[in-house]
Amino acid sequence: MRLRASGLSRRARREHGRVQAMLPGYLDGELGSGERAQVMSHARTCDRCRGVLLAPPSVARMLRSVATDPPPGLVDAVLLRLAQEGAMPGAARIPSGDGERGVQRTRNGTGLGVATALIACSYVK
């Protein structure tokens, strides 16, 4: 059953107000799982709150809140790749350490910082 805010019982109005207050946190991905579940459960039956969640700015805000943090060592990996493919004298001597995935080791990060320090600014066109 769909609820409209104007026709809610006192208890439902309280819940509606509580969820409304949580919406900004929900959109930004700042709520814990319990609060998120409350928002979701309420939005399924509340036209007004569902309207807020489905508005284009809210959709964009939620999408932005799904993290796309770069993996640690991304810059190092890029610089290392530049050095390895840059055909500069000495670049080929830098061991990648793990074969074909040498420049994809940023999640482990083993040795990348050192390697990058050695090869920084060493690539050429």
Partner 1 sequence: MGLASRSLCASGTGHHLDAARERVSDERALVERARQGQCEAFDSLVRVHAAGVYAVVSRLCASADEAEEVTQETFLRAWRGIAQFKGDCQLFTWLYRIGVNEALRRNQRRGPEVSSLDDHRGRTPADSRPTPDLDAEQHDLRLALDTAVRALHPDYRAPLILRDIEGLGTLEAAQILDLSEAAFKSRLHRARSAVRDAVGAYLGDGA
106-112 contact pairs (CB < 8 A, 24+): 106/71, 106/72, 106/73, 106/74, 106/76, 106/77, 107/71, 107/72, 107/73, 109/72, 109/73, 109/76, 112/73, 112/76, 112/77, 112/80
Minimum Å gap between C-beta 44 and partner 1 is: 5
Site for partner 1 in 4-33 (CB under 8 A): 26, 29, 32-33
Least separation in angstroms between CB 10 and partner 1: 25
Number of residues located near partner 1, criterion CB under 8 A: 43
Shortest Å, Cβ 4 to partner 1: 14
User: Which of 10/56 has CB closer to partner 1?
Assistant: 56
Residue in 43, 52, 112, 115 binding partner 1, rule: CB under 8 A = 43
